[in-house]
Amino acid sequence: MDGRTTRVEVRGHYDAVIVGGGIAGLVCGTQLAQRGKRTLIVERSAQPGGCCSSFTQKGFTFDVAVHHISGCGRLSIVGSCLRALGIECEFIRLDPMDTLVFPSWSLPVPTRLDAFAALLAERFPRERAGIHAFFAEIVKLYRALLDERRESPTLVRYQDLTFAEMLDGFFDDPRLKLGLSGQWGYLGSPPQELSAVGMCQMIVNYWRDGAYYPRGGTQAFADAIASKFVASGGDLLVSTAVRDVLVDGTRAAGVRLADGREIAADAVVSNVDPAQTFFRLLDGTVDPAYARRLRTLQVSSPFVLLYLGVSARCEPERLARGFYFFSEELGGPWLYVSSPTQIEPGMAPPGYHTMTVVASLTSEEDAGGDWRAVQETKVRDVLDRIEDFVPGLREHVEVMTVAHPPSGAERTSNFCGAPYGWAVTPQQSGMRRLAHETPIENLYLTGHWTIPGPGVCAVVASGWRVANRIAAREPAVSRPVDGRTGTSALA
């Protein structure tokens, strides 16, 4: 972020203070500022965006975690939000969005639902009827998720099912099931554990509304929102940590910064993880039932990232963007490979490219604890696999940076380095995810730990929802501890 867009003279009192400048916090703050609410966003990093940010090393610019964004069309969730807030950001539409590469076959994933259905029907003619029935059903489920009627029979039918169980209801061919579930890495849980509802929320946004890459990289997307926030009268503090969320009796009253300054607020929004919010930041007691729930929720599985700056002589375009699976076992280990400079060449010096590789972790690797040893072995294995497609890649690497779960926790403050917040299981998806309202009056949660879940499109919706509640000064919705009542995930 350009320092000219960052205000540092903060007030003593705000209508709302937002802790964390990730995408949900930025969207929430911009909408509040445009509604005339005096709003402050406090971000501990030097730039806003959270997972949707970039860093530069030796002339190479790398996206921290986000590879593309769904729902950026004019009438889709992200596109509608940007248009409503007057934010201009140029996007490049990707088609296909990904290629799924298995040991003996591969499958491109178009960003048009009808095109994907037609491709699958051509590849798997014996499953044609099931394919058309599945796509009709998953769109029906997606619409049920957008509807505030909680008694939807479609939602009831699938809210307790995994995505693998949903697929079993339509198909027999194991390869078709592999192809339809092949993007499960975007949510972190294998299809046998992944919520059918959670998978629906993510893939329908991609398959129906398209996948997009921001011109200039993901930091440009975050910066566009942050600049509009500041231009709308909001105050943005970067490189500043919040030490405490202040509580007056049963209500949130403001924040205390790391330098000791106290800032009063009528509402506090936490865009950092709930465990940190309630067990480290909250200057008061935590409701026992709420604390028990937070301690029993399962976090999403971590992964390892490799950021590579390479010479164009190694021809990185030979690696199609997408998931590379080590086996044809459902839920098996994978790599996700992308080269942003194939879309946006200016992110590397002339004659060079950037590559990002995400590598899933086995349960043994995740539990190992000695990340230095795990990292060394993992990097060697990942490079070996990539060289199956791009021989001699190692000889062309100019820059390599590795991010493992502890470094991910340090960069984003995510509890346990969890990249998707809580695991997207049937018990923790849709309206069963944490609500925006909390037991502390006027303390709200936003981001991928809350309704509707992980992904840029989902956290945009999350930030929008919280801003609506604060702007309208709605009373907090009464919710039981299991989080099973409330309003639509995208209201």
Which amino acid is present at 277? T
Low-confidence ranges of the chain (pLDDT < 70): 1-8, 148-150, 366-369, 405-417, 474-491
Instruction: Spell out a b/e string for 82-117, using b for 16 or more CB atoms within 10 Å of the CB, else e.
Output: beebebebebeebebbbbbbbeeebbebbbebeebb
Compute the distance between CA of residue 261 and CA of residue 269 in angstroms, rounded to an integer. Answer: 18
Compute the distance between CA of residue 275 and CA of residue 286 in angstroms, rounded to an integer. Answer: 11
User: What is the per-residue pLDDT for 41?
Assistant: 98
Provide the β-strand partners of residue 359. 304, 335
Question: Which of 483, 421, 451 is closest to 187 using CA atoms?
Answer: 421
Determine how many CB atoms are found less than 10 A away from the CB of residue 331. 18
Question: Which of 326, 322, 330, 325 is closest to 171 using CA atoms?
Answer: 330
β pairing state of 13-19 and 262-270: parallel
CB 456 within 8 A of CB 69: yes
**Cis peptide, bond prior to residue 345, ω within 30 of zero:** no
Identify the burial level of 398 via C-beta atoms within 10 angstroms of its C-beta, where 0-12 means exposed, 13-18 middle and 19 or more buried: middle
The conformational region for residue 282 under phi > 0 = left, psi -120 to 50 = alpha, else beta, is beta
Q: Scanning the structure block, which residue is given the tokens 């200016």?
A: 346
User: What is the per-residue pLDDT for 186?
Assistant: 94
Task: Give Cα 301 to chain centroid, integer Å.
Answer: 13
User: What is the per-residue pLDDT for 413?
Assistant: 60
User: What is the per-residue pLDDT for 74?
Assistant: 80
